[in-house]
Structure 1
Amino acid sequence: MIQRIQTIWLLLAALTVSSLLIFPMVTTTVGSDEYQVLATGLYQKASGEFKQLEAYLPLMIATIAVALMSLANIFNFKNRTAQKRVIMANVVLIIGLSFWCSVYAKKIPGGLEVANYNVGMFAPAIAIFFCILALRGINHDEKLIRSADRLR
């Protein structure tokens, strides 16, 4: 079977989801304290460094699992039907992950009303876009194979 552009899209989706571990979703300043929410936890800036106040271990594990699911799906190229199903499941999990991230983002001191949204809040939407592009690539490959079968 052929595997082309969808490999790149799935890799980009995995990198985008895993960026939630690095880039903050929400930041806010309460008084002289600055707070950040990442998929790994709630952080407060103290003496120039960010110190973890609360750890979000289940969210971190779920983020890593969704990213690994995209990476593992790259090697499922021999079964395009299963690859498409895994991509659709991955999209559903990314949507669930984004809702879960928003629940933790609401716990930021000062609330979301005064918070600044960062790259991390938009990463799930970008990852879904990459998954849809991968699905489109798989459909294109299926069409190509069907047309080649007609020529034989």
Structure 2
Amino acid sequence: MIQRIQTVYLALTMIVSGVLPFVFPLWTLTDKKVVWFMENMAYAILFGLSATLALLAILSYKKRQHQFVINRLNMILNLILIGLFVYCSLNLSGETPAVSEKGIGMFLPIVSIVLLVLANKAIKKDDDLVKSVDRLR
């Protein structure tokens, strides 16, 4: 059913990956230039793909194992996004990492991963409940 708790977690993941990158910048350079995710095509594609996978997981609510696998793929995608953020923030042109100010947008994939883990726990709990009821029949 679509009114399960994992749907709430997945909807929050979709909001974190699809809406909040437009609100929060990734980092601010020393000359007060704000860097948004849209300035790098890879970030835009990865955030969009993450939001799309969350929506796909919401829509496949009848297939719990399929939902579980989609969430795992989404977690791997967000880990790649975190790796890109760390790499780019440490290799900003001619700066040391202490000079640039990191924005909240760099931590959005971490929030997304936490929400996906909570959704996977809820999916596993539902799956175990269905299997226990099938055993009683």
Does residue 7 of structure 1 match 2:7? yes
Which residue in the other structure is 1:24 paired with?
A: 25
Per the alignment, in what secondary structure is the counterpart of residue 32 of structure 2? strand
Give CA-to-partner distance per residue, 1:58-108, whole Å, 9 cap, x none: 321221111111111101111111111111111001100122233343436
Other-structure match for 1:112: 97
RMSD, aligned CA: 1.9
User: Aligned partner of 2:26: which letter?
Assistant: M
Number of the residue aligned with 1:128: 113
* AA partner of residue 14 (structure 1): M
Alpha-carbon separation, structure 2, partners of 1:59 and 1:94: 10
Q: Return the offset for 1:109.
A: 6.6
Letter in 1 for 2:105: G
Listed as ranges, the matches of 1:1-152 within 5 Å are: 2-3=1-2, 4-18=4-18, 19-28=20-29, 30=30, 33-41=31-39, 56-105=40-89, 106-107=91-92, 110-152=95-137
Deviating beyond 4 angstroms after TM superposition, the runs of 4 or more aligned structure 1 residues are none
Q: How much does 1:150 deviate?
A: 2.8
What fraction of aligned residue pairs are identical, expressed as a percent?
A: 28
The DSSP-based 3-state class of the residue aligned with 1:98 is helix
The separation in 2 between residues aligned to 1:137 and 1:14, in whole angstroms, is: 17
- Compute the TM-score of the two structures, normalised by the length of structure 2: 0.86
Stretches of structure 1 that go unaligned for 5 or more consecutive residues are: 42-55
Q: Which has the higher helix share?
A: 2
If the length of structure 1 is used for normalisation, what is the TM-score?
0.78
